[in-house]
Amino acid sequence: TAMKLVVTGGAGYVGSVCAARLIEAGHEVVVVDDLSTGHADAVPGGARFIEGDAAETAETLLGEGFDGVLHFAAKSLVGESMQDPGKYWNGNVVTSLRLLDAMRVHGTPRLVFSSTAATYGEPDSSPIPESAATRPTNTYGASKLAIDHAITSYARAHGLAAVSLRYFNVAGAYGAYGERHATETHLIPIVLQVATGDREQVQIYGEDYPTEDGTAVRDYIHVVDLADAHQLALAGAAAGEHRIYNLGNGTGFSVRQVIEACREVTGHPIPAAVAPRREGDPAALVAAAGRAREELGWTPERADLAGIVGDAWRFTQSRRGATAPR
Ligand code: UDP
């Protein structure tokens, strides 16, 4: 059934893809985004767009009556969170608390929240189930975990139907919707910038991790599979409950393996150099995502790394065509 939804952060990477898919599924979508890291032209055509702070906007907007909120708006860079923690405690935690209060005041029944594998920190064993200990190694993860705790108590006390989705490493693109940050920090887009010639080489952050080739291992998930899970979460949310699901493919790829996949997809040699570890980075994060499969009926259909990189590569090339005065 069609719902009326607020999508915070719908001008960003994951938010814009999810908003586009929600609109295609027949939902009515209002995107709220302050454009601090998003782009106005990434907001899907069928959405109403309000430029503004997620919390401040929600405090009045939700009075119109909505079926739910998908809360993507956030600061999401591990390195930056270690340098400037206030940006994360204020930007993520304070904003989300105000949003929760606005939802309570206006009786908005459903919330789907973008949580993260960074809430787990360095795991005791791999792959990581939702029952694993949460000991974030960086402020980004700590801020998202604090919000998860708040959502649990709001759901219990106020009857909110809430789902937190713990993303592993989101990658790939959906047609014209993809990852484009002013300063890119994520591995796959950086490697593809080397392939386009916009960057000379990729730095491998650490080669002394306790992994097979010494580089850090991550679970890369296609952004469209991720978007599908949001729709299932919205449909499956239950009043008074806060459910938490990992979203990943259950397969880890090392930094070196990702670079190799990009070499194969792009046909570019992609020079790489070893650099020191990045502060706050765990050695390996791989999802046990059985709960999302069993309870939400979620089946990721785009797990192949070359396919994920291929979609990101097509997007990167099309953006260069669109923007490049060189
Ligand atoms: N990484 C790297 N070089 C880069 C960017 C990232 O070696 O230029 C590594 C990073 O240390 C991590 C992995 O690639 O182990 C994925 O990092 P990313 O920033 O894409 O996602 P995160 O895991 O931090 O969410």
Instruction: Please give the share of the chain, as a percent, with pLDDT higher than 90.
Output: 93
- Residue 221, CB half-sphere, CA atoms under 13 Å: how many? 30
Catalytic residue numbers?
Answer: 140
pLDDT at 238 over 60: yes
Nearest CA to ligand 1 atom 24: 78
Write the residue with the smallest CA distance to atom 20 of ligand 1: 186
Residue matched to tokens 């139907």: 161
Q: How far apart are CA 163 and CA 111, in angstroms?
A: 6
The per-residue pLDDT for 322 is 63
Q: With a 6 A CB cut-off, is 257 part of the ligand 1 pocket?
A: no
- Both tokens of 304, joined, read 């192949």
- Ligand 1 within 6 A of 217 CB? no
**With bands split at pLDDT 50, 70 and 90, how would you rate the model's confidence at 325?**
very low
For residue 168 and ligand 1, the question of a CB distance below 6 A is answered with: no
Contact 217, 253 (CB under 8 A): yes
Distance 280 CA to ligand 1 centre (A): 11
Only one residue has tokens 């949310």, namely 237
Count the neighbouring beta carbons within 10 Å of the beta carbon of residue 325: 3
Q: Please tell me the residue having the least CA distance from ligand 1 atom 16.
A: 187
Give the residue with greater pLDDT, 136 vs 320.
136
CB within 8 Å of 157: residues ≥ 6 apart: none
Q: Which two tokens stand for residue 32?
A: 């709220």
Give the ipTM: 0.99
Closest ligand 1 atom to Cα of 118 = 25
The pLDDT of residue 326 is 37
- Asked whether the beta carbons of 274 and 145 are under 8 A apart, the reply is no
207 has pLDDT over 70: yes
- Closest-CA residue, ligand 1 atom 18, reads 186
Q: What is the pLDDT of residue 324?
A: 46
Q: Convert the pLDDT of each residue in 267-307 to its tens digit.
A: 999 999 999 999 888 899 999 999 999 999 999 999 999 99
Q: Is the pLDDT of residue 259 over 80?
A: yes
Tell me the average pLDDT across 161-186.
95
Task: Identify the three-state secondary structure at position 9.
Answer: coil
Q: Which of 52-64 are b and which e, b meaning 16 or more Cβ less than 10 Å from the residue's Cβ? A: bbbbebbbebbee
Q: What is d(CA 151, CA 132) in angstroms, rounded to the nearest whole number?
A: 18
Nearest to 305 by CA among 275, 263, 272, 271: 263
Q: Report whether residue 187 contacts ligand 1, using a CB cutoff of 6 Å.
A: yes
Neighbours of 268 (CB within 10 A): 16
* pLDDT per position as a tens digit, 56-73: 999 999 999 999 999 999
Closest CA to 49 of 142, 57, 197, 94: 57
Q: How far apart are CA 36 and CA 150, in angstroms?
A: 25
Confidence of residue 44 (pLDDT cuts 50, 70, 90): very high
Is 144 close to ligand 1, i.e. is its CB under 6 Å away?
no
Cβ(94) – ligand 1 distance below 6 Å: no
pLDDT band at residue 321 under the 50/70/90 scheme: confident
